[in-house]
Structure 1
Amino acid sequence: MNIEKTSALVLAAALALSACATPDTPPYMGGPDNFGEANRQTMMAQVIDPAPQYDTAVPETSAEHAGQAVERYRTDKVKKPERVKTSNALSSSGSGGGGSE
């Protein structure tokens, strides 16, 4: 090929590729303000709201029940919680390898 054909092909390719870009779209995905956004979102999910909004100003409590609980704790007569099962899965004690004896 001669130089004129090569330069014409390069110019045509450059024009074709430049048609994909718009002036407000950066050449990389998301733009400069989006870099590290996943990390920032994860961090902000762990931050406690400094001014939370609740339905009631002060949760309803009972000083009588709290006092009874403290007294049970001091005298070592704490109420045992009922046992709660979290699954019905059966456990096995096998290694899973099917070897001979």
Structure 2
Amino acid sequence: MRALYLAPALLLPLLAGCTANDPTFGGAVRSNYAMQVIDPDPHYEGTLVEGGDGQRSAAAVERYRTDKVKKPQSIRTTSGTGGGGGGSGGGAN
């Protein structure tokens, strides 16, 4: 009976070999993350946003608040209707 209680205690040190002791464990994830980050410490203070200084956006907000929103321009395409699918169109069988 004593052997049943002693067996787990003797097997416990063997389980320590299953832990990840490799110092490069997770290195692939860190490498992939680093490749996707352009600048990990960007400095935005004092730089203008691409496209202007915000006057156009401020004017749009003001038009929204005064209910004078510009209507969007219509969108036209240059392609015709697309041809479709399979089938034979109802011929005699």
TM-based fold match above 0.5 = no
Greater relative CO (CA pairs within 8 A, separation 6+): 2
Task: Compute the TM-score of the two structures, normalised by the length of structure 2.
Answer: 0.34
Task: Compute the TM-score of the two structures, normalised by the length of structure 1.
Answer: 0.33
